[in-house]
Amino acid sequence: MTNQEIWNMVLGEMELALSRANFTTWFKNTSIISRNEDCVVVSVPNGFVKEWLENKFNKQIITSIRKLLPEIRDVRYTMGTVASLPPEKKDITQFIPDRIMEEIRSNAEVNSITNLNKRYTFDSFVVGSNNELAHAACLAVVKNLGKVYNPLFLYGGVGLGKTHLLQATGNKVVEDNGIRKVAFISSERLTTEIIESVKNHNVEEMKSKYRKLDVLIIDDIQMIAGREKTQDIIFDTFNELYSKNKQIIFSSDRPPRAIPALEERLRSRFEGGMIADISAPDYETRLAILKLKAKEKGSNMDEAILGHIATTVQKNIRELEGALNRVIAVNQMYNKALDLKEVKKLLATYLNTPYKKTTPQLILKSVSDFYGIPLMDLTKRSRKKEIVHPRQVAMFLLREETKSSFPEIGQKLGGRDHSTVIHAYEKIKHAEETDETMRQEIVLIKERIYQSIDH
Amino acid sequence: MIITINQQKLRRAISALEKIVVRNLSLPILQNIALNTDNGRLKLSSTNLEIGINYWIGAKVEEEGSVAIPARVLSDFVNNVSDEKLTITTKENNILINSNNYKTQILGFSVKEFPIIPKSKTEALISLPAQQWRKLFGAITDSAALSDARPELTGVRLGVVAGFLEVAATDGFRLAERRLGGDFISNFNGNGLIIPRATVQELMRILDGQETELVAMTVSENQIFFSTQESELVSRLIDGCYPDYKKLIPEKVVSRLVVNRTELEKGVRLASIFSSGVADIKLCIEKNELRIAAQNAARGEVNARIGGELKGEGFTSAVNYHYLLDGLKIIEGESIALEFTGDGGPLVLKGEKHSQALYLIMPLRS
């Protein structure tokens, strides 16, 4: 019988006799390290455990051991002689400078005049079928500033690389054409600047700053929706730059025609150049991105693990990178490479974080608020036009947002037949595809729903 | 147990013990302070299973006994009692604390569950007066690493170098080193120990205000003990190899500037107001003058000028101002020497006359 087996038996008995907390406190990291005819030596992690086992549990431990080895008379405890680690391979002089560089990097990489971050380059951008068009358009713009695609309008979902492309374009322009007047700005920040300038009465000064630019890049342009002064200034600046053949690039999370509360004259201008979309990357692209990122971070990760990450995280590159970072961080923390099983476990807890869900109640409330009718009317039998339309929209949204079954939706809206719901769903779906005002309505209602989830 | 004790003494003992008491849900007994009568004295103990402290205070013992009292309750209570004499009586696990003006009953626990705090069994390696220990360890923990990424850097290294007792701490961005001479180290062979930062901080707390009392240091089986007449602190040591920090200290000095400590500290504090996100300030040295500059895009900028004495060429270096201020706590004396060791090399702080301490800062690259 091995020492390990003996000790496991002792542990088994002690575990039954003690509370969980007590057991883990006093018996964690203990083991038998040696034994002779009548004595067993137990290794313990620290002095407190040693004292406690010697004084409180010695009798029980001896009794347990003697059930297996009756000749044992004595148990001794010794503090874990942790084999002293081999001297640090990397000496401290090497270790210091690269930590320092990391610290300062965040500051130095963003150019304070152009707002461009040098970290974003075309080299670190992985091209796949999802973003081919956008990538090619950006490259074309770099080569022929202000001549081919002006303005260039990129759109795509969250975390798919819009900002990366914009920044890379800006950087490349600066690099290829020497010092040009390039500015990268998010529309949020632009709005802040405008508010500030209105307050300080120097709007003209601010405007002229943007008029002198060769390349103007505005990120997240959809945020100017509903901000009239900002739209005004962007309109003026746009005309000015456009007439001088200066390049303008926008990004947004939706196409121009889907941005609500955007002035018509701006919308038509946004659509006047080139519109390119970026969609979610396919598996191969995701894997390529992971490989590139892992290499950047100097980590050799098993292909199977990268493959697993690419399969589990599908919609968002930022999350993809987050999952990779997490695996790398855990690797470094424990100083070993996790195997596929451990990675699966790690990511399962990471990805299962509860997300906020839209509820049918929320949808009904948002719809009734939007159309200004009482919530009760949606479920009543009334067939007045001003009620029927909102009711159909509600059915459509319930189907789209909560994936409820048709009979279930009918039930929720006053016990209607499922065929009624199907009809409403198809009707609104068709209208959404063909009718611009309908599309607007849906977008605005959805916005209401999402906003109330967030709060 | 029936004892009578002085409130001031009890208060002092509790303040030394309570800092290591942490909220521990799995073993609630650790949130207590154990009281035991011990040869005509009262022994108070607390532990978090990494550090343990025993503290003895004189008491009039009428009946022997022991009990564990929740540390928070006891501490809050004793801090607010104004009577000088307290009588502590236990009935089972109830503790009655009575004095002229107060009658209190506190619910306690049996001391049987309370961990036994290990005792030192070997001979003391070093015995020094409390003020010497305080001088040796003072402010050194500031430089130890906070992150657990490299456990050995979270501690303070204690060793013997060339006949001096030497402590050092570094987090990779700065290094503090201080030495103490004397003939006390006959028993201490050179192998360095790594003492957890919390242990050093606790030692400083216990020794606070003590001057000449002898404090003995004992090491056995990966544990370190600091004992005085009235207290004993025990802690685990950190396993691992401390990096060879001596290699980091440059031998060559390019230029050296001597400035007044108070002026330097004032200048750095002033500049810190305008430092950016990475807490950087710039030191520009030219012709017997030190200019401390900082600028922050959101706040503004500052330039502070300090006269000094320069040997060698002028230089410029950007450093984290927190590190510089921490360094001034390590270095003694009114005149501080700033040594420049070449571009990208560390900046070294020394006392102009005292050579017992050294502080080194890695510059920020810009």
Domain boundary among A297, A319, A351: A351
The CATH number for A214's domain is: 3.40.50.300
pLDDT digits (tens, 9 = 90+) for A57-82: 888 888 888 888 888 888 888 887 54
Counting other chains too, the contacts that A434-443 makes at CB distance below 8 Å and 24 or more residues apart are A436/A257, A439/A257, A439/A258, A440/A260, A441/A370, A441/A393, A442/A393, A442/A396, A442/A397, A443/A258, A443/A260
Please indicate, yes or no, whether residues A136 and A272 belong to a single structural domain of this protein: yes
Tokens 């699966």: give the residue. Answer: A344
pLDDT digits (tens, 9 = 90+) for A10-37: 888 888 888 888 888 888 888 888 888 8
Please indicate, yes or no, whether residues B333 and B259 belong to a single structural domain of this protein: yes
Domain boundary among A13, A48, A79: A79
User: Is the residue at A337 inside a domain?
Assistant: yes
pLDDT, residue A106, reads: 45
User: Is the residue at A112 inside a domain?
Assistant: no
User: Is the residue at A115 inside a domain?
Assistant: no
Task: Supply the range of the domain harboring residue A165.
Answer: 132-278
pLDDT digits (tens, 9 = 90+) for A39-57: 888 888 888 888 888 888 8
Q: Predicted confidence band at A455 (pLDDT cuts at 50, 70, 90)? A: low
Helix (H, G, I), strand (E, B) or coil at A419: helix
Please indicate, yes or no, whether residues A366 and A439 belong to a single structural domain of this protein: yes
Instruction: Choose the mutation target among B111, B116, B234, B246 for the interface with A, i.e. most A CBs under 10 Å.
Output: B116
User: Is the residue at A86 inside a domain?
Assistant: no
User: Is the residue at A120 inside a domain?
Assistant: no
Could you give the CA distance from residue A350 to residue B240 in angstroms, rounded to a whole number? 32
CB A11 within 8 A of CB A3: no
Domain boundary among A278, A306, A329: A278
pLDDT, residue A104, reads: 41
Task: Supply the range of the domain harboring residue B141.
Answer: 126-246
Helix (H, G, I), strand (E, B) or coil at B129: strand
Answer with the residue of higher pLDDT: A209 or B256. Answer: B256
Complex-level ipTM: 0.72
CB B161 within 8 A of CB B199: no
Please indicate, yes or no, whether residues B287 and B315 belong to a single structural domain of this protein: yes
Contact check, Cβ <8 Å, A96/B365:
no
Min Cα distance A10 → chain B (Å) is 21
Q: Is A161 annotated as a binding residue?
A: yes
Chain B hits for A333, CB-CB cut-off 8 Å, are 149
Q: Predicted confidence band at B328 (pLDDT cuts at 50, 70, 90)? A: very high
User: Is the residue at A87 inside a domain?
Assistant: no
Tokens 């967030």: give the residue. Answer: A454
pLDDT digits (tens, 9 = 90+) for A350-394: 665 445 567 888 888 889 888 888 888 888 888 888 889 999 999
Nearest CA in chain A to B171: A96
Provide the number of structural domains found in chain A.
4
User: Is the residue at A36 inside a domain?
Assistant: yes
Answer with the residue of higher pLDDT: A83 or A192. Answer: A192
Please indicate, yes or no, whether residues B60 and B107 belong to a single structural domain of this protein: yes
Number of cross-chain residue pairs from A and B with Cβ atoms under 8 Å apart:
100
Please indicate, yes or no, whether residues A143 and A248 belong to a single structural domain of this protein: yes
Chain A hits for B344, CB-CB cut-off 8 Å, are 97
Provide the number of structural domains found in chain B.
3
Average pLDDT score, chain B: 88
pLDDT, residue B199, reads: 93
pLDDT of residue A149 exceeding 90, the answer is no
Interface of B with A (CB under 8 A): 26-27, 47, 49-50, 52, 115-118, 149, 170, 172-173, 221-223, 234, 236, 239-241, 243-245, 247-248, 276-278, 280, 297, 344, 362-366
Q: Is A50 on the interface with B (CB under 8 A)?
A: yes
Please indicate, yes or no, whether residues A271 and A137 belong to a single structural domain of this protein: yes
Contact check, Cβ <8 Å, B26/A25:
yes
Domain boundary among B113, B136, B165: B113
The CATH number for B343's domain is: 3.10.150.10
Could you give the CA distance from residue B93 to residue B102 in angstroms, rounded to a whole number? 20
pLDDT of residue B100 exceeding 50, the answer is yes
The CATH number for A441's domain is: 1.10.1750.10
DSSP letter for each residue of A4-72 = HHHHHHHHHHHHHHS-HHHHHHHHTT-EEEEE-SSEEEEEESSHHHHHHIIIIIHHHHHHHHHHH-TT-
Please indicate, yes or no, whether residues A75 and A24 belong to a single structural domain of this protein: yes
Domain boundary among B113, B135, B153: B113
Q: Is A178 annotated as a binding residue?
A: no
Instruction: Choose the mutation target among B244, B282, B295, B341 for the interface with A, i.e. most A CBs under 10 Å.
Output: B244
Average pLDDT score, chain A: 81
Please indicate, yes or no, whether residues B97 and B30 belong to a single structural domain of this protein: yes
Please indicate, yes or no, whether residues B218 and B321 belong to a single structural domain of this protein: no
Q: Predicted confidence band at A90 (pLDDT cuts at 50, 70, 90)? A: very low
Domain boundary among B191, B223, B246: B246
CB B205 within 8 A of CB B234: no
Nearest CA in chain B to A103: B278
Which of A47, A82, A103 lies closest to B278 in CB terms?
A103
User: Is the residue at B366 inside a domain?
Assistant: no
Please indicate, yes or no, whether residues B108 and B39 belong to a single structural domain of this protein: yes
pLDDT, residue B345, reads: 85
User: Is the residue at A102 inside a domain?
Assistant: no
Please indicate, yes or no, whether residues A216 and A297 belong to a single structural domain of this protein: no
User: Is the residue at B156 inside a domain?
Assistant: yes
Q: Predicted confidence band at A115 (pLDDT cuts at 50, 70, 90)? A: confident
